[in-house]
Each structure stands twice: as C-alpha cells, then as structure tokens.
Amino acid sequence: MLDNIIEIHGKKVVLLEHAITNNLLPDPSLADVWVINHNDPKLVKRFLYKIIRSEDIRINLKPIFLQKELKKVYSLSSDLLKSLSDGYIKWLNFIDKIPYIETINNFIEKNQYKYDDFDKTSDEFYTFKILNYYYTRKKNIVPNINRKSLTGYSYTRIEAFFENKNDAYTKSRMLLREAFLGGSLARNYVDTSHLCKNCHSGFLNFREVCPKCTNHNLKVRNLIHHFRCAYVGIDKDFVLKDKLACPKCSSELKNLGVDYDKPGKIFLCKNKKCNHEFQDAPVGVHCVDCKTEQSPDELIVKKIYAYELTNLGYQQVIEQ
Amino acid sequence: MMELWEKYFYLWHILDWKDIIKWGWYIFILDIPRFFVIEGITLYWSRSERKKTKDLWDKAREDLFDEMPLVTVLVPGHNEGKHLFKLVQSMNRQTYTNLELVVVDDGSTDDTAIIASSFEKSGLIDVFLSAAVRGGKASAANLGLRYSKGKYVVHLDADSSLESDAIEKILIPFYRYENVGGVGGNLVVRNGEESLTTMMQFLEYLQTISVSRIVLSKLKIYKIISGAFGAFPRHVLNRVGGWDIGPGLDGDITVKIRKIDYRILFEEEAICRTHAPVTWKALTKQRLRWSRSLIRFRLRKHNDIWQPNKNFKIINFLSFFENVFFSLVLDLLWFFYMFKILITDPSFMLIWFPFKYTIYLFMTLGQYSFVFFVNKDKKYLFSKIIYIPLYPLYMGYYMRIVRTISYIDEFFFYDSYKDVWNPLKTSKKAKEHGM
C-alpha cells in the first residue's frame, strides 16, 4: 500500500505512514518532500536510519520533515528525531522552507550519478555523504549532548551510518578527524570528556575507595579535637547519651569553636576483613557499561569539537 | 699581656678565703659537689655496672629481636615537609625493621601535606594523617597515637636524624628492666659547626644531656624525655591519655608517667642528631619557651608532687626538687649575691669575677673529661676543647639570665599561654583549667 501524495505550495509531498510501518523506502522520484506521518518514535527512528544509511543520493539527501503536532507523542525521542531529519514543520506549512528544499533538490538532480564511482563501503564514500549533507543543509556539525550515546556526546546523523554502537563512536570520530586533517573541515572546541579506558563509555560512576582493598563501602567520620586536653578522636569516641563527653578528661564538649573543633575527616573501610582507617581516599571509577574498574588517571581524555566545512570542503563538494 | 697574667697570679696571693666563702659558699657546697663530684661518681658507677651486666643487655637485645614487636615512629609536626625525605631515609637505614612510620601534619601552611601524602602513596610513610586546622603539637601527637598500631611508640621530631641503631637501642631498656614507662634518647647537636651559637649548644648537650641524664637516670630522678627522641609503651601512653598541651609537653608527659609509678630511663647509646638554633636570637626564643615549663608544669600543674598529703612519692619529689633547686633557687641565689656584691663592695668584683671564672673553667674541663666516657668520637671532642673557655660564660651568664627572665615572665605574666607555638584557642582553655 502506497502512502498518499499531495501537493502543497506547488511541491509534491508524500505523507509517510505505511512506508514507516513496513520499513520500506518509497520511490524518491515520486515526491519533492517527505513528511513523517507516523506516531511511533521507534519506527520513525528505524526509518530515518534507513534513509541515512541509503546509498542512493536521492534518498539520503531528500528533504524530510517531522510534524510538530506529533512532537509530544515522540516525547523523549523528539530531539533525536530532529537531529536525524530536517526538523519540524507545523500544519504542513513549509512555505518558508521552499528555497531550502529547492536548493537541495537541485543539488540532488545535478549530482545523482556521481555516487556510482564510489566503493560504497569506503571511508571516502562516508566522508562524501557527510560533506554533501552538511553542504546542502548549510549547517555545522555540532555534537549533541545525549544521555543515550556511549560517551555523552553524539554526532547523531553521522553515527547513524553505523549499526554497532562502538563502530558508531569510533568511526564517526575517525571520519571527522580525517576530514579535519585533510582540510575539508575546520573544528572548534566544545568540551572535554573522560571515557572508560576499555569501552569508551562516558557513563561512569566515581566514588572513594579504600587504598588497601579497593572496597568502596566506606564510612566517613569527623575528627574532633578537644582543646582543653588535646585529645583527638572521631565523633563516636565522644558520644555519651545525647551529649559529647571527652573520653580523656570526661568533661563535656559544649560549643564548637570554643571547646572543640573538627580538624578533618577519617574514612573507615567497611570491608570486615580490612577495616582500614585512612584520610586520603583515592577515587575509583566504575564503568556502568562494561563494569571495568579503573582509576581517574587511566580514563581516556577526549576533546569534543564542532566542525564546519572549509573552503576546501565546499570545493570538494562542488567539484566532486 | 704579661702584665695581665701577673695581675691574675697576684690575685691568687691576696685572696681572702673568708670573703670567698662568704660570697660563694654555694659554689663549694652545691655546684661542685652536684655537677662534678656526684656526677663523676654516678657516671662511673653507671658505666661500670653496664659493663658488668653486658650479658644481661645482650639478652635484652635478643629478647627484643625474638619478639620483634611492631614499633610506631610518630612524627607530629607543623610545616616540617622539607625534612621528611631525610627522615624517611633515616628510617630505612634502621637496624630494627618492624617499624610503622606515622607522620601527622598539624595544619601546615606549606607543601607538607602534598609531600607527605605522596610519600604515603609510594609506601615511604605508612600512615599520614592531617589536621586541616592547626591544633598544636599535643593534638597532632594524640591523633597519631589514635591511629597507630605499634606496641611501642617512638616520638620523633621531623628534623632529627637517627643513628642507624638508634631505634634498636632505645627499645632495649624495655627488655632489660621491668616496669619501664619511657626511655629518653641521647641528643647530639648535628650542626655544631654552623655558628658559635650551635657550637656552644653542642658542648652544652654533651654535658646536660649525654652525661647529666645518665646520672639522673641512675639516681632515678630523670624527669624529661625530650620530644626530639623518646620511646614509650603504647599502653602507658593510653593510660595517661597521651600528650597534654605544651610548650613543654615532653616534660609533662614524662611526669605523668612517673606519677603512675613507671620507671623513666635514659639510654645514652640511642643517639639522635638534632638541629640546634643557629642564631642567638633563635636560641634565646627557644630557651625562654623551654624554661617557662618549669614554672608552668613543675610548680603549677603538677603541684601535687610537692604536697605530702596528695599524690606524694619521695622519688618524684626529689626529682622535682633537684630540678627546681638547681635551676630556680640557685639562679635567684646567684642574682642575690651578685647584687649584694655590687652594692656593698663593687671593687671586690675585680677579684671575684676572675676567681669564679677560674673555678668554673676547671669544673667545666672536669665535666668535659666525663664526656669522653660516653661519646665515642674522641678525636672530634679533643678538637673542640678550644671552645671550653667560653662555656662558663655561656652557661653561667647567658643561660642563667635567659632562664631567669623566663621564670619571672611565667611566674607573673603566664607568658607560656601567650606563646604562638600553640594556637590561642587551646592556650585559652589550658589556662582556664590550669593545664
């Protein structure tokens, strides 16, 4: 069953519903603009991935819009879907997007045969797809903060080329880096992130650990210094019913700062075999994804950049 | 020059012994008997008995190494980071090896915490504890005591360096005698060559520590284990509740241990090389601080030692009496006669001063000869004899004046409670409670 094609503002628009349900790509020549008309964000995402991974320039560069009316239904996925498409339109009104659509479609028409020369699995082909897309969209390649991505930042549309999560991370970065080194892209610093040494995950749990047994079930206690008799111990030493009484001189500790102060902390390791007491607790890092334990200085430090096409990049797209 | 010598010899001919006895009786019936005769005899007694009982000492050493208990070396300090590397090295050279090095940083404002925690990470220091807010040396020592594990605790200043067998030697008395509550180590000034000030202190330590403490220990009235180097059984420290607020906390804790009936011993063979103040100004400041504790602790805090109806023990009484009599009472007597001569017969000073100097010079030479029994570096000792003529002036005038000023300060103005050596918050409480 084919989806309806309607004409709006002199453009042929296909409202995609069955295609999404069945995950089938429609014929790109039938319409100028594709509009998602499906309310299941999972299926929409699957469909958009299929478009992005397509080796047909007429499909992977096709202007494709989401409908604002469905944004609420997409809820948490709405931003992700936006970054995989050309954004939201309201009431099928895209009159202000017409020049945008025309530029893209002209580009597709001019270049539709140029894909044939490429080895579709080569890095050059991926780079070519990236440059073409961001050229036609006149956008920069900006990393999105994304809780669901491996590292916390994602280049969503580039990572979408790859099915495997690890490939998506490593290959997308590699492609961008190569393009930067080759001069097609320029980059601007955005952020620095710390990643698991084993799986590059950014979902890490930091906590103090016992320097002897690396157990992280610790109890922290305050030190108390009783001025009068110079006794120093932990809070527990002093507690007598609901008062503080000094274990050395038996007098009561009344006022903080006058009778006593708290000059530091002591950790107690709650591992019964260890029970080590110490002040300087090293921090241990636990990777939520691959469960690797590591110390903070073992983490991989990566800088996150936003990229934009350089003049050389433009030239490469035009002369390709 | 010849004229001067002639005058000097003439002086001995015109001496009127009646006058001499009248003005300086204490020299002949107190100073010489105490500092020369009794000291010489007791030193001989101690040394010869030690030789006779050599097998018992060897046995004690064997017992120590058979048991090989964990020994805590406790080093509390404020801004002492720069000394830590040397300290660690001197620990690694020790012949006694079952050691736990515990360093406590008392709110240092320099790099101490960084240095010490890096040493802790690399295993050079076993336990590093840090108080973010300065609390005074006693609180730092108590914190270290709370978190250390050794059966014996050796208290050490960060800037002292130990002979390689010092820890072994300071532990042996615990196995040689019973009921020992603390052993004081022998202190030798290590920077004697640095200035005249330090050279005089080098000579002073030889006499007042290396020799005099053997004697006091033998007579059972030794009452101060220097903070620079001393060892205590942990259970004894726990019984007395660790250290109380200083300055003078080392003498104070020794008295607290004596009060609960433990023996305090001096071990001359456990040698610690300590850093002495280099300038007269710094030395004066140090001695003003040290001497105040005679008033603060011996006369005030531990006044029960003087009272027959309280915690009275004749040996503790004698220990305090010797200390107070020969320091405070004789000082006052000295000033009394000095002023009396100046007022009644000033011209007598011209005879009196050279005479007294001669007597004390000979006594000093005699005392210095005792040092040769104790200190093994005899060649070095010989080379320093040229400084002996200055020693009677150093001890008799400089030290006496500084000491007396300090006593008066403390007696009337409670100056030790104003000393910035302690944080004010603790001094305030100490004064309130007579600590």
Cα of B227 to nearest chain A Cα, Å? 16
- Report the distance separating Cα B9 and Cα B13, nearest Å: 7
- Give yes or no: residues A140 and A161 share one domain: yes
pLDDT value for A320: 67
Is residue A290 domain-resident?
no
On whether any CB of chain B is under 8 Å from the CB of A279, the answer is yes
- Asked if the structure places residue A291 within a domain, the reply is no
**Do A87 and A176 share a structural domain?**
no
> Which of B240, B424, B426, B428 is the best residue to mutate to test the A interface, defined by the most A CB atoms within 10 Å of its own CB?
B426
| Cross-chain residue pair B120–A249, CB shorter than 8 Å | no
- A contacts of B245 (beta carbons < 8 Å): 229-230
Per-state percent for chain B, helix, strand, coil, to nearest 5: 65, 10, 25
Question: Does A240 map to a domain?
Answer: yes
Spatial distance between the Cα atoms of A255 and A261, rounded to a whole number of angstroms: 9
Written as tens digits, the pLDDT of chain B (435 aa) is 778 888 888 888 888 888 888 888 989 999 999 999 999 999 999 999 999 999 999 999 999 999 999 999 999 999 999 999 999 999 999 999 999 999 999 999 999 999 999 999 899 999 999 999 999 999 999 999 999 999 999 999 999 899 999 999 999 999 999 999 999 999 999 999 999 999 999 999 999 999 999 999 999 999 999 999 999 999 999 999 999 998 889 999 999 999 999 999 999 999 999 999 999 999 999 999 999 999 999 888 999 988 888 878 899 999 999 999 999 999 999 999 999 999 998 888 888 899 999 999 999 999 999 999 888 889 999 999 999 999 999 999 999 999 999 999 999 998 888 888 888 889 888 888 888
Whether A232 and B132 lie within 8 Å, measured CB to CB: no
Nearest-Cα distance to chain B for A256, in Å, is 11
Q: Which residue of B has its CA nearest to A256?
A: B425
Q: CB A261 to CB B133 under 8 A?
A: yes
- Same domain, yes or no: A113 and A123: no
Q: Chain B: nearest CA to A234, how far in angstroms? A: 10
Q: Which of A91, A117, A143 is the last residue of a domain?
A: A117
Assigned domain for A156 exists: yes
**Tokens encoding A30:** 């039938």
Is A317 domain-assigned?
yes
Q: Are residues A188 and A319 in the same domain?
A: yes
Total of domains in chain A: 3
B143 backbone dihedrals φ, ψ, rounded to 5°: -60, -45
Whether A49 is in a domain gets the answer yes
Min Cα distance A271 → chain B (Å) is 18
A105 and A33 assigned to the same domain: yes
The two structure tokens encoding residue B2:
């010849």
Nearest 5°: the CA angle B70, B76, B81 is: 110
Per the CB < 8 Å rule, is B425 touching A230?
no
Any B CB within 8 A of A277 CB:
yes
- Please answer yes or no on whether B131 and A279 come within 8 Å at the CB atom: no
Classify A87 as helix, strand or coil: coil
A76 CB neighbour count, 10 Å cutoff: 9
SS (HEC) of B118-153: HHHHCCCCCEEEEECCCCCHHHHHHHHHHCCCCCEE
Residue of A nearest to B145 (CA): A232
Q: In the numeric block, which tokens belong to residue B12? A: 């001995």
Contact B242 A230 (CB under 8 A): yes
- Whether residue A8 is found in the same domain as residue A97: yes
pLDDT digit of tens for each residue in chain A (320 aa)?
678 888 888 888 999 998 999 998 888 888 899 999 998 999 999 999 999 998 888 888 999 999 999 989 988 888 889 999 999 988 888 888 889 999 999 988 888 777 777 777 788 889 988 999 999 999 999 998 887 788 889 999 999 999 888 888 889 999 999 999 999 999 999 999 999 999 888 899 999 999 889 899 999 999 999 999 999 999 989 988 888 999 999 999 999 999 999 999 999 999 999 999 999 889 999 999 999 999 999 999 999 999 999 999 989 888 76
User: Cα dist. B8→B46, B351, B362, B363 in Å?
Assistant: 39, 9, 16, 19
A155 and A58 both lie in a single domain: no
Distance from CA of B301 to the nearest CA of A (A): 13
Separation CA A64–CA A72 (nearest Å): 19
Mutate to test the interface with B, among A210, A221, A229, A253 (most CBs of B within 10 A): A229
CATH number for A127: 1.10.10
Q: Is the pTM of this model over 0.90?
A: no
Chain B residue at shortest CA distance from A258: B425
Residues A159 and A136 in one domain: yes
Count CB atoms within 10 A of the CB of residue A219.
11
Question: What pLDDT does residue B19 have?
Answer: 85
ipTM of the complex: 0.90
Report the length, in residues, of chain B. 435
Per the CB < 8 Å rule, is A263 touching B426?
no
Whether A165 is in a domain gets the answer: yes
CB contact under 8 A, B130 and A264: yes
| Residues of the domain holding A245 | 210-281
Residues A246 and A173 in one domain: no
The C-alpha angle A210, A213, A217, rounded to 5 degrees, equals 50
- The CATH number that applies at residue A18 is 3.40.50
Q: What is the DSSP string of B331-361?
A: HHHHHHHHHHHHHH-GGGHHHHHHHHHHHHH
Same domain, A85 and A12: yes
Q: Is the domain of A255 the same as that of A179?
A: no
Residue B243 distance to chain A (closest CA, Å): 7
pLDDT (0 to 100) of residue A120: 75
Look at residues A97, A117, A137 and tell me which one is the last residue of a structural domain: A117
Q: Within this chain, do residues A97 and A227 fall inside the same structural domain, yes or no?
A: no
By C-alpha distance, the chain A residue nearest B424 is: A227
Chain A residues close to B127, C-beta within 8 Å: 278
In a domain, residue A292? The reply is no
Size of interface A-B (CB pairs under 8 A): 76
Q: Do A232 and B241 touch (CB under 8 A)?
A: no
Would you say B337 and B23 are in contact if contact means Cβ atoms under 8 Å apart?
yes
The answer to whether residues A305 and A189 touch, using CB atoms and an 8 Å cutoff, is yes
